[in-house]
Structure 1
């Protein structure tokens, strides 16, 4: 585990209990000064650098600040190690492309930690949309708000929005065509701490609106899907995580003088079996690393989210709508290697993983 801060500590706990993982080591430059983990150094299960851990592991989980993801990921991949990188995959599309190309060439698994795509409630929301139980989808609205935690290297869009972009793409089954973003900074003069994103899915005739904030008194983790027949709310902080509202605006027939009507039906909350998404993700990563299967949240999945976030940054800076194609075009000259990957046949089938750096 590279990085044992708030999120890395959770990953460390989960990886230790994941089937197929015989042992886990921690990698952190501060490890000798961390009371709960310093003992791992003497036991040979704690290291201060990726290079020191290389001979002892088969795979790395990277949970360091976003700006370090590409550098550390490339080091691990070039050493022939499987890699799970916490969101976002990278801070630029160019770096995401380089990671994808490097993993293909090395024949190793590259996976990104879009944890909500391993959440049963999010899958149910996807099923409600994809099955058209809600009717024609009008829009998604997402709110991810809290008091902090302020980051030192990225703004609130890079910190929080990858979750919601990942969910929106997953639920709708595709990436958006354009992004518009606006935001402001109040506490930190450098980074926006409140932001809004609009993702347009032109092929679907729908859009998603995302609100992220480090400056809100109430922790909110909610997504609403509004359709022509019904509406659904996914609330990650509620006991009933999915609530289906049988509500709709009924339109009169074309040419009819009748007015719109409002249908108000029942609210239902289907049962959802709980399986910790982080644990589901960890099991999936180990399975893919052992068998060579393509991860559900592979490099391409991570790239799609990074493109949206980078488009949002450009939109914030230039105060305009940004097409996703523009981001890819800007990135290509800097990622030539990613355009001509040389796949190497994997030799992993049947291999038992020895150790994970988590």
Structure 2
């Protein structure tokens, strides 16, 4: 039985508590939050769970094997490092840290101590995204593009930009689904409130091949859109997270290019191929529950979580580079070679 403490009971903490309480091989030992008024509902619903506003009390308790951290991004590194140094496994909200240096230090510390470090990239554990990876691995032909849109009206964040709040989802999905990792990023965006971080942004990611990725995130859209397109030479995928049932649609469509390729349009023939569309059956298990069960299983065994510290580091590195590019009006920022953080 793995004893787990949840640190932070604000927006996401209640979801962690609910799912951990339902895992047969886990025991919810503590819920910790600096705002004591948040803890009353925990005591009412889970009377056997201890509550506290002191993380040191949590880490001193030998019943606690792991902690799940759901606090603001600025506190992730400090809390996660403290837990790792206390010999506890760590499950931390996305993004895992505020800088790539902090993320790398967490990865190194977990490795040095033989502890499991998982990052809550929840969408990676959905049936839709797992199916999308399976389809990509089966083959779409030559990969052309990855294009995602994640927009809505609010919720505005004051401590992080829309890139760190929304794009992190799409970047974690892209990291999981695509075999190839980006080598550079360019980002443009704008803040429409003085003194506040960017509320709209466009990211372009470049790869060694001719694959290109684009991510559009926006807190100012009048409608909510959660859509991703992946294009290959033989098949294309549309992933719409707001669809109630057919979230993934696979189109047997593509193009073929024939000709000399010397720039003479009359010698270049473009062939369009149109086939069937199908919507595969998806596993509808709640993603967070699946993710937490995998985390507990990894603590008991030798496997690493799907979204481990290295996956979290790769995403933070892109977010950091995108932030640098935003500050320089879209200048291309090279990324650390994937083999260095794979």
Give the TM-score taking structure 1 as reference length.
0.85
Q: Does 2:333 align with 1:322?
A: yes
CA deviations 1:146-200 (Å, max 9, x no partner) are 1221112111111111111111121112421001111111245320011111111
Match of residue 81 from structure 2:
74
Which residue of 130, 143, 146 corresponds with 1:123?
130
CA RMSD in angstroms comes to 2.4
Q: Which residue of 1 aligns with 2:70?
A: 63
Q: 1:144 aligns with which of 129, 144, 150?
A: 150
Q: Take 1:115 and 1:103, find their aligned partners in 2: how far apart are those partners?
A: 21
- Per-residue deviation, 1:258: 6.7
Q: Which runs of 5+ in 1 are unaligned?
A: 330-337, 339-358
Instruction: For residue 136 of structure 1, report the CA deviation from its aligned partner.
Output: 0.9
- Judged with a 3 Å threshold, the aligned counterparts in structure 2 of structure 1 residues 49 and 148 are, in CA distance, closer, same or farther, namely farther
2:169 is matched with which residue: 163, 172, 187?
163
Relative to structure 2, which stretch is displaced further, 289-298 or 164-173?
A: 289-298
Contact 1:307 1:327 in 2 (8 A): no
Q: Structure 1's 35 and 149: CA in aligned 2 closer, same or farther, altered over 3 A?
A: farther
Task: Judge conservation of contact 1:245–1:266 (CA < 8 Å) in 2.
Answer: yes
- 1:275 paired residue among 285, 290, 305: 285
- Preserved CA contact (<8 Å) 2:9 2:39: no
Matched, 1:103 2:110: yes
| 2:219 equivalent in structure 1 | 214
Q: Distance in 1 between matches of 2:275 and 2:152?
A: 32
Distance 1:287 1:5, change over 3 A: same
Cα distance in structure 1, aligned partners of 2:55 and 2:216? 36
2:195 is aligned, of 189, 192, 196, to 189
**Residue 253 of structure 1: how far off its partner (Å):** 4.2
Q: Residue 122 of structure 1: SS of its match in structure 2?
A: helix
- Deviation of the 1:43 alpha carbon: 5.7
Alpha-carbon separation, structure 2, partners of 1:52 and 1:41: 19
Does the 8 Å contact 2:33/2:53 carry over to 1? yes
- In structure 1, what is the Cα distance between the partners aligned to 2:157 and 2:103? 21
- Between the aligned partners of 1:175 and 1:326, the Cα distance in structure 2 is 9
CA contact (8 A) 2:9 2:38 kept: no
What does 1:1-358 align with in structure 2 at a 5 Å threshold? Answer: 1-33=6-38, 35-37=40-42, 39=44, 45-54=50-59, 55=61, 56-132=63-139, 134-187=140-193, 189-202=195-208, 204-238=209-243, 239-254=245-260, 257=267, 259-319=269-329, 320-325=331-336
Distance 1:53 1:185 in 2: 39
Partner of residue 343, structure 1: none
- Post-superposition shift, 1:112? 0.8
Could you say if the C-alpha distance between residues 269 and 154 of structure 1 is closer, same or farther in structure 2, counting changes exceeding 3 Å? same
Alpha-carbon distance in 2 for matches of 1:17, 1:41: 12
Q: Is the 8 A contact 1:310 1:327 kept in 2?
A: no
Report the Cα distance in structure 1 between the residues aligned to 2:303 and 2:131, rounded to whole angstroms: 24
> Paired residues, what number?
328
Over residues 24-58 of structure 1, what are the superposed CA-to-partner deviations in whole Å (9 max), with x where a residue is unaligned?
42111113355523648986521112112221421
Larger RCO (CA under 8 A, 6+ residues apart): 1
